[in-house]
Structure 1
Amino acid sequence: LEKLTKKIEKEYSADLTQRIRKLEQRGIDQYEIKAKEILATAMQSYAISHATEITTSTVAIQNDEIKGRIIGKEGRNIRAFEKVTGVELIVDETPGSVMISCFNPIRREIAKITLEALIKDGRVQPARIEAEYEKAQKLLAKRIKDAGEAAVYEAGVLDLPEKLIKVLGRLEFRTSYGQNVLWHSVEVSLLGAQIASELGLDVNLCKKAGLLHDIGKALDYQVEGSHTDIGAKILEKFDIKEEIISAVKSHHEEYPYESIEAKIIQIADQISGARPGARKDTLENYLKRLGDLEDIALSFQGVEKVYALQGGREVRVFVKTDQINDYEAQKLAKNIASKIQDELRFPGEIKVNVIRETRIIEYAR
């Protein structure tokens, strides 16, 4: 029986491969087309541009003589500035600029406003530093409030408590992989609402949950815990509905999904983060991800060479034709995809493209 099975499989492997593909495609095509229509509509409607930022701030100066004033006699001014603002001020040989470094984005922005005011005034001394710092705190508080109000207006979520809007506004000065978190949140809100509308689900729930899904990042550098847990606590404090809190908690799969809307927020979050140019990743992480993809594919027998392409969105696998037939190539693609899914975390999907190349060479003499 075993010999007969192998003989049949060998004789009809090409036919079996073709039939499997047709059956799979028939089931997938109609769902894939509809899904692509929904996502394409959502993405085209709400393509928000993101300004990529870094964890340091640069302040331009007209000439390098100002650096001497910033440092002060025996470093008095720079020490006073760092003590008052709580940042590190880097004054080096870089022409036309000084750099502010601080993990806390709010503190860093206040320091930047303070330094710009001191440079404009021309008087850099401890007393002036304290005075300008107080002004900068008030100015930033207004900017945070304005940013929060602009975000809720853009997202069409107009019934949030005023204090919660101020917390949301702090995300204007928070980045994730270089992506501005406030406008990422607005984009997730709009994408989620569009997808929910196409599927006939709760649009308002997706709007609010999308806008608030990263609210914990407004305070995650001050409070211990993951940003999802911090966000849930913030929303509980403001008596936000439980279904919104549930969607916020589950958008990174730390908690189970309790509604389809919660899953939509997770999808919208991935779309926004995966949009080309939306985020910066470290070179080390990027190279590691590509290396891991290639290593997984190379671990299978019969694989000759592997290339990870399109930033890790496609894995092109070349197989040895004398070891892998067409039927086995189909199974190999499935096995590689399954192993990638089990061992790696990634947004969106990764295409596994197995290529079995047949070359026929003849010579004309």
Structure 2
Amino acid sequence: MTDTALFSPSSINFISIAIVLTIAASMLQGFLRGGSGSARHFVAMLVEAGIALLSLLAAWKCVGWISPAIQTWLKGLDLQVPSVEISALKQMYYTVMTSLRDFPLLRFGVLFLIGYVVIKQVLNLVVDYLLGRWLAERYAMTKRRNSFLSSVSGGLIGSFAGFARALMLIAMLFIYVSLFPHSLVTPYIESSTMYQKGAKEVISPFTGDFIAEKAPVFTRAVEQEFSNILQRKYEVLDAKIPGNIADAAKEITVNAKTDEEKAKLLYSWVGTRVKYDWNKVKLYEEQRIWKEQTPEDTFNTKEGVCIDYARLYAQMARAIGLDVKVVTGLGYDGQGGYGPHAWNEVYLEETNRWVPLDATWVASGANWFNPPNFDQTHVRDV
């Protein structure tokens, strides 16, 4: 009962093409400038590449210093998500601000991107002021002859600038994927080989064993942060719990004594009352129309797909004081493969642990509340 894939990337990925073209365009620009016969152009190109690399290094150092201060400042703000209906703009505000506060990799990426742009602009202004007159005089007095060597040198210098620009493009894509992990564009971005591995493959020859040693640790950190950011999105989106959902959750669990009993009762109720909406899946498969619905829509219609089951369960659990997560990833399809899926994790205070559950699969007749081999049929999103 996994959901049909919402996006099937084609063999041609335009994200990879954009990254390659970013580097290629800078190399071509350097090649043409190097062979243009102008000493002024050549020196300007050399300075531009130097500024780009210096800006990257300076931004990296500055972010390490300013990131803790930004986190402290954000912690001092009142960022408690209100339990009332809020506009889409406010939802985005709370998602962005609390994510920057709580997730260090995302905060680093945003600050690094901003720092690079600011530092580069400042350095450009300084260099223009200091070298502008000299370059103008040099341009009037000296002309370089076209040469193959100058063209190749220009292309090499341009490649450094292009690499810096490609890194900035990847950083912007990372920020988008982090903030909007469930959008239709995100799977396409993540399917780009250049986005996933390009930087590592380019940097690796120059960094020796550093990447090989640090990459696995960094990858695990990114995976965890992606999961947490996605959870934050649903926490904000579904912060307001409608009265009818809250009343139903309290009635269902009125006789339960422990968190586990409450969680199991809600798991059983959602799994047996909500019917899987195959028409919703068919509508998207055939017409590419995604019928977005709120947990209240699911509660009222008693129909939905796995993400709708998970969001409704999360709201009902929160209504009675349980700590719960919406988890996305891949679920076993019963035919030897895996497809996009969503489920929940709930915290049981009496045992001090998080346990998984899948209300969508209740209809299968098996127990999907913390079974022994849950992770063999459910793979969390990266």
TM range (shorter): under 0.3
Compute the TM-score of the two structures, normalised by the length of structure 1: 0.23
Which protein has the larger Cα radius of gyration, Structure 1 or Structure 2? 1
Higher relative contact order (CA 8 A, sep 6+): 2
Normalising by the residue count of structure 2, what TM-score does the alignment of the two structures yield?
A: 0.22
